[in-house]
Chains A and B, each alone.
Chain A
Amino acid sequence: MAATEKEILQVRELTKSFYGVAANDKVSFSLRNGEVHGLLGENGAGKSTLCSILAGLYRPDSGDVILNSERIRFRSPLDASNMGIGMVHQHFKLISSFTVAENMVLGLNAKSRNISLGTVEDEVRELARQYGLDVEPSAHVWQLSVGEQQRVEILRQLFRGARILILDEPTAVLAPQECDRLFEAVRHMVERDHSVILVSHKMDEILSNTDRVTVLVGGRNAGTLRTNETDAAELAKLMIGSDHLPKLANKSLRRFVESTPVLTIRDLEVIGDRGTEAVSGASLEVLSGQIVGVAGVAGNGQREFQQAIVGRRQISGGSIMLRGRDITQLSSRARSRSGLAYVPEDRLGTGLASGLTLEENLILKSYNEPPYSHRGVLSTAVITAAAEKLVKDFDIRGARSGMPVSLMSGGNLQKAILARELSRPHDLLLAASPTRGLDLAATASVRQHIRADTEKGGAVLLFSEDLGEIVELSDLILVLAGGRIVGSYTPATLDISELGLLMTGAKVHN
């Protein structure tokens, strides 16, 4: 490839925090002229934040961005664009009711206020031909497929003279054939001396399409390597940061031979928001007293999988049985009453109504059942007493009467959700990233509650991106990638590096 040693863009000790949490923590990294540079990391590793700073969307708290040996600070995306940096976001920034050509000229600092869309269309056609990004310039964006829209985004950056292109998880939304076309276009770009930053968590993609790769972990640069001098195993190790994995030897193996299945899912098929298949042919079984952990990088069907189980998304095939009863046709409320407890990943907004008080949120699912209400009238004394008991049992702190829960800390919010869900009669607990963003004490407490639930015979299906958590808690570990369950391990058979590879979509044969 056309990569030279000349560094066109350097990032020095960039730090950016949101609400006191560092998304980028002194990240340094450099981009050479004409190279494809991979940025690899789990969700939340700080890839998107870094790219957003480079594209002028965020301003860094500290650190420098050096472009062509000059220190620069972008005030807006326009500044970045004017200096030749263009970003293609995961969520396209296109106006869907506009044509492709209209989107091209949007925000362009045209000398003449008068635009001739005909000329623009011709120019776009020519660009599209050169880079192999074929798309019809007069079509409206809403008529285009996702792949075509992405080509429009890339063309738009090229049209504006971008020398550096940032592609943020470009293949997350693409079908396999479209991915091949995309990387062909990327090759055309570097041949024409553009530099490309490719953000991804897919190992194969990084290995076969980049010159160098930088691994981000927890907002820090864990290492920059030449792609042809490394391999999937090394990258997976860097990415997972194996140092924080718990010691497996201490874990007692439990047996579930005589247990009955609580949750049985057969050949589940779920369609995602973009109309593509988000979950394909997934089957699993959770036994009484068992914790089944589903490992995987976000965006591989976890959300749709959970929504299908709790009844917030139609399934297109397969069946979901709870204690032998088919629940696929039941409403969310009926599923909850049939014994399904749910701790969603999104605490405020899905798990809790952020403007209501703790007390109100604790009865969000039982408000219309006795003893909390009778004939539509809330029994406030009972509700208050029940809330007080839960606050004590689950050690929920920081609530005042009349105060909206949105003021409480993440750990207490999560305890509140757990308290509500576990205090209701339930057979299965579905938990998604239950400790994300929590401090050590809260994490330990949440995990303790989940474990305690299984000791009473409950079954737990745990989705988490935190591999450490999955390994620590689970009796059975499944790997979800591309909407399929691609691996299954018991603590005894666990091969952590193989699991890491499976998570990133690599093929493993054994």
Chain B
Amino acid sequence: MSKQFSISPRAVPSWTLRVSVPFAALVAAAIIGGSILALSGSNPLEAYRTMVDASFNGLRPATRTLTLATPLILTGLAAAVAFRMKIWNIGAEGQLYIGAVTASGLALALPTSTPRSITIAILLIGGIAAGAVWAGLAAIPKAYFSADEVITTLMLNFVALSFMNYLIFGTVSYWRNPETRYPEGLQIPENAKLPMISYRLHYGIVIAILAAILIWWILRRTTYGFELRTIGDSQEASRYAGMRVNTKILSVLALSGALAGGAGAIEVSGVVGRLDPHALSTHELGFTGIVVAAVARLNCMTVIPVAVLLAALMTSGSSLQRVLGIQPEIVFFLQGLIFLFVAAGEFFLANKVNITTKAPTRLEVDGGLTGE
């Protein structure tokens, strides 16, 4: 007698399951992360308490968390909207950089006498458009030659990163401050900076939340979103219903790129204040957006709390080091664990696993003949 697993597809996961599986994933990640902490001689409970304190306890930590959550909401939306149509745009990273390059360029180019609202509007629109165009470099080959968007968007990330690096470190470009010896970006004028809410938290968070609501509304309430969801569910049924799938691939990748590009513009205008390749790439906001979307199970409203959670995790790293002397990189490991367990959890949401006890089903031959 042996234990046997039989796996059968689960048609629709119950509400409790949909909540408890991601929660179980979080707990599992916390336990594994805690064990690693304990193994390296730290008290995991103390560490977790410090992390919560560092990211939520008080106005300053909370605003710091929300500031980092802002771009993550946008890149999370960028991933979610594309993944909803089963378009695997993993190029939010590069789309964000190109958005940042464009927005900072525009901010530097506009006359300082331009009213603040107009300046900000122009640089946001510029960043959004640039992100969309950069995504188009993968969208057009995808729509017309079915070129795998996973590889093209991935490759374009590194091209964008090198390009951005070049503008600051490779040459004395328009973006670079000509006066400093160490290469750095030129500060954008004050009227190109997003106004602050509290501490370093800027109004970009409002834009990000509005964007989440807008995308959620588009997906649920417009014919565009209806087509997107239908194509993502079944290309064949969509084609029979007369939807144009190729046009949709173009527009969805553009929308996804636009959100990432917008995140880049907001980072420049609200946080970084100049084209700073290090500051823009250090948190890998584009890649982390994919984690956000996956953990949020591609739900645009859930993207908001998930982005806040991951931002809290990321910002708490430095406090861990300061307070407990724990290496801050543990937070990336924890983030990766959450990602892994949530991904694994998808399987248990989609499938029922039954454990049955059954006689072994080996090759059975009655009467002498031995199975080789």
Contacts and interface: CB of A to CB of B under 8 A. Distances in A.
B371 interface: yes
Given A312-B240, A350-B240, A373 B223 contact: yes
A355 interface: yes
A336 interface: yes
A79 interface: yes
Nearest to A369: B223
B302 to A, nearest CB: 15
Interface string B254-288: 00000000000000000000000000000000000
Nearest to A70: B367
B366 A332 contact: no
A71 B366 CA distance: 6
B361 A59 contact: yes
A334 B365 CA distance: 61
13 contacts: A72-B364, A73-B361, A75-B362, A332-B240, A333-B243, A334-B242, A336-B242, A349-B237, A360-B226, A364-B230, A376-B224, A378-B221, A407-B11
B276 to A, nearest CB: 39
A406 B237 CA distance: 13
A303 to B, nearest CB: 13
A332 B367 contact: no
A364 B241 contact: yes
A196 B369 CA distance: 23
Interface string B189-228: 0000000000000000000000000000000011110110
Given A355-B233, A403-B12, A407-B11, 20 more contacts: A70-B365, A70-B367, A70-B368, A75-B363, A109-B372, A312-B239, A332-B241, A333-B241, A353-B237, A354-B234, A355-B234, A356-B229, A356-B230, A356-B233, A360-B226, A365-B242, A367-B226, A373-B223, A377-B222, A377-B223
Contact of B361 (A75, A333, A351, A355): A75
What class of interface size applies to chain A in its complex with B? Answer: 35 or more
A317 interface: no
B329 interface: no
A125 B236 CA distance: 43
A336 B222 CA distance: 21
A333 B240 CA distance: 8
B367 A342 contact: no
B11 A406 contact: yes
Interface in A262-282: none
Contacts of B366: 70-72
A404 B363 contact: no
B218 to A, nearest CB: 9
Given A82-B372, A367-B223, A332 B12 contact: no
Interface string A378-421: 10100000000000000000000001101100000000000000
A70 B366 CA distance: 6
B234 A378 contact: no
Contacts of A72: 363-366
Interface string B331-372: 000000000000000000000000000000111111111011
Interface string B12-32: 100000000000000000000
A334 B244 CA distance: 12
B238 interface: yes
Scoring B237, B361, B371 by chain A CB atoms within 10 A of each residue's CB, the highest score goes to B237
Interface string A54-76: 00000100000000011111110
A485 B234 CA distance: 33
